[in-house]
Copies of this chain bind each other. A is one copy, B any other.
């Protein structure tokens, strides 16, 4: 499989830092990495009182280095996205052992003078994956070999990253060439590369996605992580830039059937899947006239299994498309439409 030149960002493998996580949910970034890229992980490192466990061996910083870990990933979030003072001793010790550190929190490592000084002294890198780490070109819109599939949602935070990772897994299981392309900070930490699209300068959004999804083997699928929603007016511009930069051949519609309002917009309800399909397809065909909607991915975790089955069956009947919950069902039926 061709990996695009320069698309690697963070050195692998990782040691995952869970800190003093008060519960499992606060370590969900580490959990995501451990779930989707166990081969990238040497182990987990916790502080006293940590209540999270992502199922990896507990090892020390020193032992991690001996086993080849190159980057300590802050895999835990806390209120406000700040760097907990209790973590600082660990981060400094890690730099002294030669680890790079990767961070997806709002608070930036580069804004901590102590960490910057130690990193410089030991020649280590501080990765703040919420910010771009390079300049991107303006999109040229040219076609390129290889196939691309993108998730588009009726709202933000509706399972687009999970869908893409599940689809990559299903494609690979079938022996197809597939690469998840991260466009947000969690995805970047999971894979060690990607574009933090929401932090890119407007003029370069589509160009950043062209860079992220370059020419590839004719039968290779880039599985591109979706962002925002065409119907979420705070972020719709990001979604359209992603759609036009990725030039997808295939789209997966993502939905959560019980959500009452667009995320953060109390007055606005979600569009139907049919409305999303009818809006997105003509826009997608501006950049790729042969683009098709190939399936639907639904987050059914608020439904019973019977309700979920019934809901998915109804979508299949109404829209004539395979509909899955990738958590309950996996994404094999979506992958089957691509291969």
Contacts and interface: CB of A to CB of B under 8 A. Distances in A.
A148 to B, nearest CB: 14
Interface string A177-202: 00000000000000000000111111
Interface stretch (A10-18, A34-42, A62-70, A232-240): A232-240
A57 interface: no
A139 B202 contact: no
B237 A237 contact: yes
Contacts of A282: 279
Contacts of A230: 240, 283, 286
A140 interface: yes
Interface residues of A, number: 39
Interface string A311-328: 000000000000000000
Contacts of A142: 267
Q: How many copies does the complex hold?
A: 2
A287 B231 CA distance: 8
A267 B144 CA distance: 13
A55 to B, nearest CB: 33
A265 interface: yes
Contacts of A199: 201-203
Given A141-B268, A202-B238, A206-B234, 15 more contacts: A139-B233, A140-B264, A140-B265, A198-B203, A199-B203, A200-B201, A201-B201, A202-B237, A202-B241, A206-B237, A230-B240, A236-B240, A237-B238, A237-B242, A237-B244
